[in-house]
Structures are given as structure tokens and as C-alpha cells.
Amino acid sequence: MARQRSIRDAVAGSGIGVHSGKRVDIRLLPAPADSGITFRRTDLDPPAEISARAHLVRDTQLCTALVDDSGVRVATIEHLMSALAGVGIDNIIIELNAPEVPIMDGSAAPFVYLLQQAGIREQDAAKRFIQILEPVEVREGDKWARLSPFAGCRFDFAIDFDHPVFRHRNNQTRLDFSSRRYVREISRARTFGFLRDIEYLQSHGLTLGGGLDNAIVVDDYRVLNEQGLRFDDEFVRHKLLDAVGDLYLLGAPLIGHYQGYKSGHDLNNKLCLALEKSPQSWCWTELDRDSGIEIDYGENYPLPQAG
């Protein structure tokens, strides 16, 4: 039987908030079985907690941000949520001294590294999965995202940008959780942005911490980062990374097939909400050895250093 996972020990780190440009401290703490993923704002008096759930996503303009009814906000959660999904963490407390998760290097790899440093432990409780029974789809113009029945957990993503950097590259990718591809080939893919957009946002006091240290920056013709790309298809790999994090806000891993075409945080969240409003399209399930479904999160094998 697949069992729930948390971390063995507390672990701490720090980085820059992409919106504020200021230092953010983060601490990851073990949590008991069936408690889920909880963010705790320690900079508030008293400290406030907010659960990582899709219905609390209130802002997807520049990131995925949770906001509860009292106004407690935690932004830029998608890369950390992706790392938690990628290594199969069900229960954890995430302490922050700011209203945003640090951007780190713009990928999920630093968070995977922190989780592995803390140690991953199985708990004495069955891991619950959301099994997709019927297709659910959301569309906006030519963009769409879909969940379909599948005997496993698979993510497919495709992008389409009319820009010289994206031409002649592989603009689609797949992640199957029966392999261990997430840590080595997906988690290290960095977020990306266009120089003109970054300059505009920063001139209006936004994304003050964004730059070449935590994003792939593209001008009208080329990638500006001195070291170039980590993968030839790093752009689409990062969009898939985002989708893994956004879909983990359903509160459990999937048994099903996610497909996204030009989707983003907003459409991914709408897909989660559409699934939650369609109870006939899914059910809770547990996995045992006779299920015939293989999902492998791996052990604490070494993570290649980002960079």
C-alpha cells in the first residue's frame, strides 16, 4: 500500500522575494498524517495559517497566490508546490516571514534539495489519490487544459510562442510519474519572461526581485542569460513544472492524465475548480500492489546542483 509522506527533520533556507525584492526566510517542518500542506505566516501577530487548496487561489496574474477570507496572503507558491508533488510529500508545514515564497533560482530544484536535506519519511497512513473517472476540460480562446482517466499519473504540456527563441525547439513535453524524471529533468527548469515585460513591471513597482539570477530572460531575439538554457526545451518543461504545482492544490496526487496547451496558472486553477464541481468525474482511491498502477516518487537519491 502506498503510504503518506512528510519530512523527517525541520530544514530552513532563504532567498529573494520576486515581488518585493527583499530577503525571505523559509522553514519546512514535519506534519502529522492527514494534515495536508499548510503555509504559516510567522511575520504576522499572531502567526496565521492557510491551507494549500485550489479554492483559496485568489490571484493568478503573475504567480499562484493563496488568500483566505481574513486577507492572509501567500504568493508564488507554484514552484514549491511542484517540488512537494514531485517527491510525493503529503503533509508539511511551511513557515514564511513574508507574504511570498522565495523565488530561489526560478525553478523547483532548490526546494527539492531542501526536502531531501530534511529527509523524506513514510507515515503510518494510506496515501490518498484523486482518480479521474470522466474527462473535465476548460478553455479560453485557443488555450485549454484537460483531465482524463488514465491508469497512472501523466502530464503533457505544449506551448506556442511567435518568437525567434521558441522556433525550431521542442515545444511539447511529457512527465510520467512511473519514472523518476521529475527531479532530474523537470524540477531544474526555470521560469522565463520577456525583457520588455520585466522592465514594464519593475517600473510600476512589481517583480522587483526578478532578474537573470532567477529567470530565463528573453529580449526580442535571444536568451540573455550568459549560461544559456539548462535544456533545449527548458521553456515547456517549466510550464509543465508549474502545472504539476497548480494541480497539487487539489489536495492529493492524481491518478489521471493532465494535458495543457498554452495553459497558465489561471486556467490550471479553473480546471481544479471545475473538477471539484463535478463530483461524478472523480473519486478518492488508495493504491496497493494489486492495483496495476505504478507511481514512483523515488528515494533520497542525489539531486544535480542547479546552475
pLDDT tens-digit readout, 74-102: 999 999 999 999 999 999 999 999 999 99
| Omega of the bond leading into 164 within 30 degrees of 0 (cis) | no
Give the whole-angstrom CA distance, residue 64 versus residue 223. Answer: 25
Judge whether 238 is annotated as a binding position: yes
pLDDT tens-digit readout, 112-125: 999 999 999 999 99
- Asked if 78 contacts 63 with a C-beta cutoff of 8 angstroms, the reply is yes
pLDDT at 199 (0 to 100): 83
pLDDT at 161 (0 to 100): 86
- Asked if 154 contacts 212 with a C-beta cutoff of 8 angstroms, the reply is no
Give the whole-angstrom CA distance, residue 252 versus residue 171. Answer: 28
Q: State how far Cα 103 lies from the chain centre.
A: 12
Query: Taking the model in full, what pTM does it have?
Result: 0.93
Q: State how far Cα 11 lies from the chain centre.
A: 19
- List strand residue ranges (DSSP E) for 127-225, in order: 128-132, 136-140, 143-148, 153-158, 172-176, 192-194, 216-218
As a whole number of Å, the CA-based R_g of the chain is 18
**In the Cβ-directed half-sphere of 301, how many Cα atoms lie within 13 Å?**
10
The answer to whether 265 is a known catalytic residue is: yes
Residue (of 237, 214, 245, 13) closest to 116 by Cα position = 13
Those residues of the chain that have pLDDT short of 70 are 298-307
| Close Cβ partners of 238 (under 8 Å, ≥ 6 residues apart) | 107, 189, 190, 191, 192
Domains and CATH numbers, the chain: 3-128 (3.30.230.20), 129-286 (3.30.1700.10)
- Asked if 91 contacts 36 with a C-beta cutoff of 8 angstroms, the reply is yes
3-state secondary structure of 292: coil
Phi, psi of 131 (to 5 degrees): -95, 125
> Which of 19, 55, 168, 265 does the annotation list as catalytic?
265
211-234 exposure pattern, b = at least 16 Cβ within 10 A, e = fewer? beebbbbbeeeebebeeebbbebb
Q: State how far Cα 91 lies from the chain centre.
A: 15
- Asked if 164 contacts 188 with a C-beta cutoff of 8 angstroms, the reply is no
pLDDT at 305 (0 to 100): 41
| Close Cβ partners of 203 (under 8 Å, ≥ 6 residues apart) | none
User: CA 81 → CA 3, 289, 290, distances in Å?
Assistant: 19, 27, 29
Judge whether 242 is annotated as a binding position: yes
The three three-digit cell numbers of residue 148, written as one number: 482524463
User: CA 102 → CA 12, 94, 224, 244, 276, distances in Å?
Assistant: 12, 12, 22, 18, 29
**In the Cβ-directed half-sphere of 2, how many Cα atoms lie within 13 Å?**
22
Judge whether 19 is annotated as a binding position: no
Strands 92-96 and 120-126 turn out to be unpaired
